[in-house]
Amino acid sequence: MLRQGFLAVRSRLTAGDLRETAEALAVRALELPELAQARTVAAYVSMGSEPGTRALLDALHARGVRVLLPVLMADNDLDWGAYTGEGSLTRVQHGGRMALLEPAGERLGPESVQEADAVLLPGLAVDRRGLRLGRGGGSYDRVLARLERAGADPALVVLLYDTEVVEDVPRDPHDRPVHAVVTPSGVRRFR
């Protein structure tokens, strides 16, 4: 029910709200030292009413940052591909579930995320401890577990709307806290 509540609020956002928020998020995120110094960033292409990432992806690419984007596999795990600009994306229908924009080029393997200096994570909320509430598919939980097993320690950053920074979200044993949340009004760090 918590997820449905956040999604319901997002569904009421206008196209103008989404555009304005995406621009503010890009400005805030690009100010992060973790992104300013990154050579490789694993990110995602926002869809629907998610906080917008396209301006941020383009700005990182223009800076010469290698941007990795996820490719959803049949088992809900994520492979990765390089973002080389808007023309490098293709719409992929995943069964009866959803259509996603994914990199059209070579697949780099699930382990390629370990090369990232920063990982931008989607979410529905984050709490005061830095625990992220995702959509419930487990794709990014697998990514975070993969990073931990490999001893990789990239900056973990979630992009959200201001109202999605909350006091508490439910915690599962496999949950890993993020290092920071970026909202249109600012940045909050957790470690």
pLDDT, residue 153, reads 94
pLDDT on residue 115: 97
To the question of whether residue 95 is assigned a binding role by annotation, the answer is no
| Architecture of the domain defined by 2-184 | 3-Layer(aba) Sandwich (3.40)
Q: What is the pLDDT of residue 93?
A: 84
Put residue 111 in one of left, alpha, beta given phi > 0 → left and psi -120 to 50 → alpha. Answer: alpha
> How confident is the model at residue 142, as a pLDDT?
93
CA atoms within 13 A on the CB side of 190: 20
- Give residue-wise pLDDT tens across range 12-45: 999 999 999 999 999 999 999 999 999 999 999 9
Buried b (16+ CB within 10 A) or exposed e, 9-43: ebeeeeeeebeebbebbbebbeebebbeebebbbb
Q: Is residue 11 a known part of a binding site?
A: no
Q: Tell whether 16 is in a known binding site.
A: no
Ranges of the chain whose pLDDT falls below 50: none
Mean pLDDT over all residues of the chain? 92
- Give the pairing type, strands 78-83 and 66-72: antiparallel
Per domain, the residue ranges of the chain are: 2-184
What letter does residue 88 receive in the DSSP assignment? G
46 is in an annotated binding site: no
Cα 171 from Cα 46, distance rounded (Å): 24
**Residue 65 annotated in ligand binding:** no
What is the model's pLDDT at position 2? 81
Please, are residues 80 and 41 in contact by the beta-carbon 8 Å criterion?
Answer: no
Q: Are 43 and 56 in contact (CB under 8 A)?
A: yes
176 is in an annotated binding site: no
Contacts of 163 (CB under 8 A, 6+ apart): 9
Q: Consult the annotation and say whether 140 binds a ligand.
A: yes
- Kindly report the pTM of this predicted structure: 0.93
